């Protein structure tokens, strides 16, 4: 392509982690091609992810009402075309975006190759090697539009101010290193058992300030992990997403499951220790710019069927609590090693 596009529609509608993974790729793109303008089509809830990217506008999709069904997508395409878009980078490649492609016949419309065959081979156990990362798959879409992106040596945003709802809790703790812990995941097969996580927290609280991340529905479970200790702060229900990102930008390390929080922290340039269950980083969903040594994994000699699925939704029953086979002391040692590195 000789004429590279100047205004690109970027599509990624869900899920949280997948949308967050677009951010470091878009940041690299804009630094290497500062003349390019991006319009990101995504759910309105995810708009804060893109708040510090220059030349980026978020176009919120309303999939439940205004943009529902084929007619709704046609109306959406009409609205988007008014923005004078040169090309489309579809980083989702689902039925909804395939329909949108039909309405953008005059513009180059490139879609992500999800590598389904390679992932299927990994799950079946035919191969066991690292597949192309999702970040690189995103970058490949832009290369197909004539914009080759180098994801090495990335830059990240500056730390933000501590959000007001948290300030009163942390004023007296500022000299400690800050550890974020996000215990929850979409499927229980990707979660470290809370009773074991309590042991991890109990070991860390002596030396570090710990912030527990989760949704409002998880507040009670997280309250039980605070151990009534002033060095353990439950963030759930205290902050909106913008404030949560502000706090996250000040962490020294984030401890997460294979979940969206790992990708939120990584897009901010925070070190991320990921605890894995039935999924595996070889499928390409590891957090951005993190060394392999930051992955905390079950023993695959003992659990040879890992990964049992790409997303953690299918697994043999005896693998459901496989993350719990990881010794809490190993996790504590890993976190301390990351913090002293």
Q: Over 125-145, what HEC string results?
A: CCCCCCCCCHHHHHHHHHHHC
- Does the pLDDT value for residue 175 go beyond 80? no
Q: Which residues pair with 257 in a beta bridge?
A: 275
According to CATH, what is the number of the domain 7-144?
Answer: 3.40.50.2000
Which regions of the chain does DSSP assign to beta strands (E)? 7-11, 37-42, 56-60, 87-90, 109-111, 177-182, 208-212, 232-234, 253-257, 272-275, 295-296
Q: Give the separation between CA 167 and CA 232, rounded to whole angstroms.
A: 14
> First vs last Cα of the chain: how many Å apart?
44
Convert the pLDDT of each residue in 16-41 to its tens digit: 999 999 999 999 999 999 999 999 99
Q: What is the CA radius of gyration of the chain?
A: 21
Asked if the model's pLDDT at residue 106 lies above 80, the reply is: yes
User: 164-340: which CATH number, 3.40.718.10, 3.40.50.2300, 3.50.50.60, 3.40.50.2000?
Assistant: 3.40.50.2000
Rounded CA separation 85/231 (Å) = 50
Helix (H) or strand (E) holding 166: helix 164-170
Q: Which residues of 19-36 are buried (b: 16+ CB within 10 A; e: fewer)?
A: bbbbbbbbbbbbeebeeb
What does the pLDDT read at residue 287?
Answer: 99
Judge whether residue 185 has pLDDT over 60.
yes
Q: The tokens of 43 are what?
A: 């759910």
Q: What band does 282 get if pLDDT is binned at 50, 70 and 90?
A: very high
Whether 218 shows a pLDDT value over 60: the answer reads yes
3-state class of 225 per DSSP? helix
Contact criterion met (CB below 8 Å) for 261 and 274? no
Question: Strands across the sheet with 232-234, in order?
Answer: 232-234, 208-212, 177-182, 253-257, 272-275, 295-296
Phi-psi category of residue 202: left, alpha or beta, with phi > 0 → left and psi -120 to 50 → alpha: alpha
Q: What DSSP line would sit under 52-112, residue for residue? A: T-TTEEEEE--TTTTT-HHHHHHHHHHHHHTT---EEEESS-SHHHHHHHHH-TTS-EEE-
Indicate whether 81 pLDDT > 50.
yes
Give the position of tokens 């529609």. 9
| Contact status, residue 33 vs residue 25, Cβ threshold 8 Å | no
Q: In whole angstroms, how far apart are CA 188 and each of 32, 214, 317?
A: 40, 14, 11
Report the interhelical angle of 134-144 vs 16-32 (nearest 10°). 50
pLDDT of 169: 83
Write the pLDDT tens digit of every residue in 293-308. 999 999 999 999 999 9
d(CA 40, CA 131): 26
Mean pLDDT confidence for 188-204: 98
Which tens digit of pLDDT belongs to each residue from 38-67?
Answer: 999 999 999 999 999 999 999 999 999 999
The boundaries of every CATH 3.40.50.2000 domain in the chain are 7-144, 164-340
pLDDT level of residue 265 (50, 70, 90 thresholds)? very high
Q: What is the predicted pLDDT for the residue at 167?
A: 87
Residue 313, both tokens? 């939704």
pLDDT digits (tens, 9 = 90+) for 143-174: 999 999 999 999 999 999 999 989 888 866 56
Q: At 320, phi and psi to the nearest 5?
A: -60, -35
pLDDT at residue 156, rounded to an integer: 98
Q: Which residues pair with 179 in a beta bridge?
A: 210, 253
């Amino acid at each position: 392509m000789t004429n590279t596009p100047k205004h690109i529609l970027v599509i990624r509608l869900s899920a949280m982690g997948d949308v967050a993974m677009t951010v470091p790729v878009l940041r690299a793109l804009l630094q290497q091609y500062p003349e390019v303008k991006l319009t990101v089509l995504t759910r309105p809830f995810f708009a804060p992810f893109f708040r510090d990217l220059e030349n980026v506008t978020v176009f919120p999709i309303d999939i439940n009402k205004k943009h529902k069904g084929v007619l709704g997508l046609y109306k959406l395409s009409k609205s988007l075309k008014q923005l004078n878009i040169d090309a489309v980078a579809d980083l989702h490649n689902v039925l909804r975006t395939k329909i949108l492609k039909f309405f953008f016949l005059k513009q180059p419309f490139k879609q992500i190759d999800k590598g389904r065959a390679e992932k299927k081979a990994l799950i079946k156990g035919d191969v066991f090697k690292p597949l192309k990362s999702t970040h690189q798959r995103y970058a490949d879409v832009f290369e197909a539009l004539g914009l080759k992106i180098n994801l090495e040596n990335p830059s990240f945003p500056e730390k933000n101010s501590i959000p007001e709802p948290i300030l009163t809790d942390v004023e007296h703790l500022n000299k400690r290193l800050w550890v974020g812990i996000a215990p929850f995941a979409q499927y229980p097969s990707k979660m470290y058992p809370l009773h074991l996580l309590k042991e991890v927290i109990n070991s860390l609280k002596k030396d570090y300030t710990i912030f527990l991340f989760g949704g409002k529905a998880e507040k009670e479970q997280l309250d039980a992990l605070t151990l009534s200790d002033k060095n353990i702060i439950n963030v759930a229900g205290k902050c909106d997403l913008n404030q949560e990102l502000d706090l996250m930008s000040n962490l020294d390390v984030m401890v997460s499951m294979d979940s969206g929080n790992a990708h939120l922290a990584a897009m901010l340039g925070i070190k991320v220790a990921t605890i894995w269950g039935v999924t595996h980083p070889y499928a390409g969903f590891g957090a951005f710019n993190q060394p392999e040594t930051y992955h905390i994994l079950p023993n695959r000699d003992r659990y040879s069927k890992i990964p049992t699925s790409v997303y953690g939704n299918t697994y043999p029953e005896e693998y459901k609590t496989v993350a719990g086979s990881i010794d809490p002391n190993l996790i504590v040692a890993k976190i301390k090693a990351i913090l002293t590195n």
